[in-house]
Amino acid sequence: MAQESARRSESGLPIEPVYGPADLAGWDPDRKLGEPGAYPFTRGVYPTMYTGRPWTMRQYAGFGTAAESNARYRQLIAHGTTGLSVAFDLPTQMGHDSDAPLAHGEVGKVGVAIDSIEDMRLLFDGIPLDQVSTSMTINAPAALLLLLYQLVAEEQGVAAHRLTGTIQNDVLKEYIARGTYIFPPKPSLRLTADIFRYCTAEIPKWNTISISGYHMAEAGASPVQEIAFTLADGIEYVRTAIAAGMDVDDFAPRLSFFFVARTTLLEEVAKFRAARRIWARVMREEFGARNPRSLMLRFHTQTAGVQLTAQQPEVNLVRVAVQALAAVFGGTQSLHTNSFDEAIALPTDRSARLALRTQQVLAHETDVTATVDPFAGSYAVERMTDEVEEAAVDLMRRVEDLGGAVAAIEQGFQKAEIERNAYRIAQETDSGERVVVGVNRFRLDEEEPYEPLRVDPAIEARQAERLARLRAERDQGAVTAALDALRKAAEGDDNVLYPMKEALRARATVGEVCGALRGVWGSHVPADAF
């Protein structure tokens, strides 16, 4: 339009005051849109979307001991949660046992501590694993936690082919934005390929990876950066699996993605639409995928924790509702809504329940599930979708010019780009150009007191006692033999998940299994910034 742009989007793209037919001149709806559930999947990956049934409502939870987290899961299920989502503490995410020196002070703090099959057994006690879908936010040691889950299911009498869920298993974004990596990129990708092969043969309904832009967004990535770097990582995983001898249509239908939903609703809807279109084109044109499910970008969404504030935390209820609406309008397959008090501490039972109720209100009290794609043909959203797609593809080309996602990571490119954007956001917030309600405008003279949930620091000592008892009672010879077999597989080309499963069955700990692999593969040392 001829009018001067009033503002710019989160990605720095112009948002016009008025959009009209001229903004879609020459625009081909058949090529750009298609039908819902059909290529290029702009309008959603399924023909009926939420008119058939709503998205899966997950609540990300886990803290303290396995027994405490189990109690929270039972409460969430009783309140109507349709899928579990497990948060692990930092020592577990980094492959350390709770009694390791590096774990001190972090046990059970940001998630549940899982040291062995005994903890996993407690975590899912009384929860039938053939009746729930479980997502596990775990990356470098994802194979271990998946195998522990399978072992517990076997103890329940549940066959592996009946298990449904997702492991995040996206280690590349750890090097870019989050930092909970263990091994260098190349052996990490080998482990990912082993997981793909293992699940294809043993746990066919499991989603083997959730390629994540969420954590990049939390580190400061713009919407364009979020989808560009996430899809570039996805391309690297597909290439790795194909290089390992797998056919693209054997594993691609089980790939999934994980994105953030911000309060900037229109650009978020455009982002999700653009991401689906880019991925469908890449899978068909670059990798020759033939199965329509291989072309579908299916994704989980979490509302933006980085946008929540400790000041006036009840305002976060409004932010989360808007963010959740963006995810739903964008066509998410599952959704976690953050609790309003998460900028202060772990959520309380009450705040977690309110977060779930937010999704239930959207699903059952509004009309957003009545029609498949309410934004189709919107002058504003379709123009924004095209602009986000073009900018993301340009950024993906820059990654390719550096040799692909791993080569770009080794040069520090993605991390530096995200840090530059995060610095821009911080500057705009500090100057007041970017309004954050309750922080730099509409502040209170005095904040109202709030009592957060606190994790008992004695958990660390109790976990250490459990580990000491486990090591004293188990068959150490069987553990040693199983770890030796794991090392041998890691040194060669055999799939490491099979000996890994036997080591975990023998009650080897997470730290011991990861330590055996560190001894063969080494640990990652990050490069200087790009």
Distance CA 165, CA 127 (A): 14
Specify the amino acid at residue 25: A
Q: Could you give the number of structural domains in the chain?
A: 1
pTM: 0.91
| Cα 205 off chain centre by | 18
Question: Residues 104-125: what's their mean pLDDT?
Answer: 96
The pLDDT mean for the chain works out to: 94
By residue range, what is the domain housing residue 68? 39-431
Q: Which stretches within 286-378 are classed as H helix?
A: 292-295, 316-330, 349-365
Residue 80: per-residue pLDDT: 86
Distance CA 227, CA 388 (A): 9
- Could you give the C-alpha distances from 277 to 36, 154, 208, 289, in angstroms and in order? 12, 39, 22, 15
pLDDT at 82 (0 to 100): 74
- Structure tokens given for 294: 């291989």
Whether the predicted pLDDT of 530 surpasses 50:
no
Residue 475 forms part of a structural domain:
no
pLDDT number for residue 235: 98
Q: Is 528 among the domain residues?
A: no
Among 56, 23, 28, which Cα is nearest to 42's? Answer: 28
Q: How confident is the model at residue 6 (pLDDT cuts 50, 70, 90)?
A: low
CATH (domain of 112): 3.20.20.240
Q: With a cut of 70, say whether residue 247 has pLDDT above it.
A: yes
pLDDT of 1 reads 42
Assigned domain for 93 exists: yes
Q: What percent of the chain has pLDDT over 90?
A: 88
Q: Please report whether residue 467 resides in a domain.
A: no
Q: CB–CB of 443/432 below 8 Å? A: no
- The mean pLDDT of 192-197, rounded to a whole number, is 96
Does residue 514 lie within any of the structural domains? no
- DSSP class per residue in 92-151: HHTT--TTSGGGTTTTTSSSB---SHHHHHHHTTT--TTT-EEEEE--TTHHHHHHHHHH
**Mean pLDDT over residues 19-44, rounded?**
94
Q: How far apart are CA 221 and CA 485, in angstroms?
A: 41
Instruction: Count the helix, strand and coil residues of the chain and give each as a percent rounded to the nearest 5.
Output: 50, 10, 40
The whole-number pLDDT of residue 55 equals: 96
Query: Which of 139-148, 311-320, 341-350, 450-459 comes out lowest in average pLDDT?
Result: 450-459
pLDDT digits (tens, 9 = 90+) for 32-47: 999 999 999 999 999 9
pLDDT tens digits for 67-103? 999 998 998 888 888 788 899 999 999 999 999 999 9
Looking at the domain assignment, is residue 474 inside a domain?
A: no
Structure confidence at residue 61 as a pLDDT band (50, 70, 90): confident
Q: Which two tokens stand for residue 232?
A: 């570039």
On whether residue 518 sits in a domain, the answer given is no
- 355 within a domain of the structure (yes/no): yes
